[in-house]
Amino acid sequence: MRRQFKNFDMVIVICICVIFIIGLLFLYSASKSLEENVYEKRMIKQILSMLIGVFAGTIVFSIDYRKLLDLSYLFYWLMNFLLFFVLVLGAIRLGAQRWISIGGIAFQPSEFAKIIFILAIASFLGRRKESIENKRNIIKPLFLLGVPFFLIAAQPDLGTALVLIPVFFAMLFISGINVKVLLGFIGAGVMTTPFLWHFLKEYQRKRILVFLNPNIDPLGAGYTIIQSKVAIGSGQLFGKGWLSGTQNQLNFLPERHTDFIFSVVGEEWGFVGCSIVLLLYFIIIYRGIIIMRETKDLYGKLIACGVVSLLSFQIFINIGMTIGLLPVVGLTLPFISYGGSSLISSIMAVALLLNVGYRKPYF
């Protein structure tokens, strides 16, 4: 038992706990200026979501990841059914149809689709490790990517859909695919990008144009990113102090409790506070890479790669859009942003990573 416990990465768990506490502090700060019952409900819901996430994560961790892989295709098609169900009968909020509401409790299937997608791709690539360089064997994983990608993008939730792509290619690379073939697919994807412009919704086009020049619509599509950059820049080195951020407390910054909560961190804790948060994320990602590197089993290595890639790109994209380096795509910051589905799914993803690390000596 002691030998097994040594394989459990407590450092990752501690870092997540610290990040979650930091998230609660800034969720309170971002909601304090609102009505009392609003911020109380948000705090209670976030804590309850954490407890549910720990319970779900414990289940994910306790089941051998190879058994989860055996059920991956079943999970995959159930997931796609839920994603399709969302498009037909899902709850609509802020113009997006992304939620399923049961008994007054709403959840977002696309958040959990990311984990199931990793399992499905790992299952396919692991079984074809000897012949993955064959171009024909790329068709099925592309199909496995395409179905949830288009279902999620149609909600519309382009940010979550786009995250699947780098995760997919990272797992292909780890599986041992020929680099030239991989670069060929990436190149083909880049070349088709301009054609996708015609399939974007109007607000998505505005976000891209605003990314290139926020001042073309400073009171409309460019307002949030302008206020975000002002908030982070005004924090300077040490910040204005917790609960003292003017952009935050005076309600200048929209969506500051979800997608733009990092802006609140920057304004109130400054560069030092942002660096602390980034350091904690770096430790999690680094420890995840160690698990991936030390795992001899290809299935486990692919799962670890998928989880590490998922967290890395989501953190990169969220922070990148808050500081104006990337277009606004509506992605949460793991373990910090408000949102039950996002928090629970992030905990389950890390539990899957810990699952691989815990059992790596036995394969």
Task: Tell which wins on pLDDT, 198 or 239.
Answer: 239
Q: Among 363, 292, 278, which Cα is nearest to 322's? A: 278
C-beta contacts of 63-71 below 8 A and 24+ residues apart: 63/355, 64/355, 64/359, 65/299, 65/300, 65/303, 65/352, 65/355, 65/356, 65/359, 66/299, 68/119, 68/352, 68/355, 69/119, 69/122, 69/123, 69/126, 69/299, 69/303, 70/123
Question: Residue 72: in which H helix or E strand, if any?
Answer: helix 72-89
Which pLDDT belongs to residue 3?
A: 47
Sheet holding 105-107, edge to edge: 91-93, 96-102, 105-107
- Percent of the chain residues past pLDDT 70, beyond the cut: 85
pLDDT tens digits for range 116-128: 999 999 999 888 6
Other C-beta atoms closer than 10 Å to the C-beta of 78 total 13
Contacts of 335 (CB under 8 A, 6+ apart): 16, 19, 20, 23, 343, 346, 347
CA dihedral 80→291→67→120, nearest 10 degrees, is 20
The size of the chain, in residues, is 363
Question: With b meaning 16 or more CB within 10 Å and e meaning fewer, what string describes 29-67?
Answer: bbbeeeeeeebeebeeebeebbeebeebbeebbeeebbe
Write the CB contacts of 39 (distance below 8 Å, at least 6 apart in sequence).
28, 31, 32
The pLDDT, as a whole number, for residue 79 is: 93
Gap between the Cα atoms of 264 and 280, Å rounded: 17
Which residue do the tokens 């502090």 mark?
25
Give pLDDT, residue 224. 84
CA gap 99, 112 in Å, rounded: 12
pLDDT surpassing 70 at residue 130: no
CA separation (Å) from 269 to 237, 253, 259? 8, 16, 18
Q: Is the pLDDT of residue 212 over 80?
A: no
Residue type, 306: G
Q: Which of 322, 210, 204 is nearest to 256 (CA)?
A: 322
Provide the token pair at 64.
Answer: 């051998």
- Please determine, for residue 284, whether its predicted confidence score (pLDDT) is greater than 80: yes
Backbone angles phi, psi at 362, to 5 degrees: -95, 5
Is there a cis peptide before residue 156, judged by omega within 30 degrees of 0?
A: yes
For 105, phi then psi, to 5°, come to -105, 120
Report pLDDT digits (tens) over 222-268: 788 889 999 999 999 999 999 888 888 888 888 888 889 999 999 99
Reduce the DSSP state of residue 289 to 3 states and report it. helix
| Mean pLDDT, rounded, for 87-91 | 76
Alpha helix stretches (DSSP H) within 154-260: 158-175, 179-196, 202-212, 223-235, 246-249
Quick one: how far is CA 173 from the chain centroid? 20
Residue 57 reports pLDDT greater than 60:
yes
Banded model confidence at residue 135, pLDDT cuts 50, 70, 90 = low
The pLDDT mean for the chain works out to: 86
pLDDT confidence band for 279 (50 / 70 / 90): very high
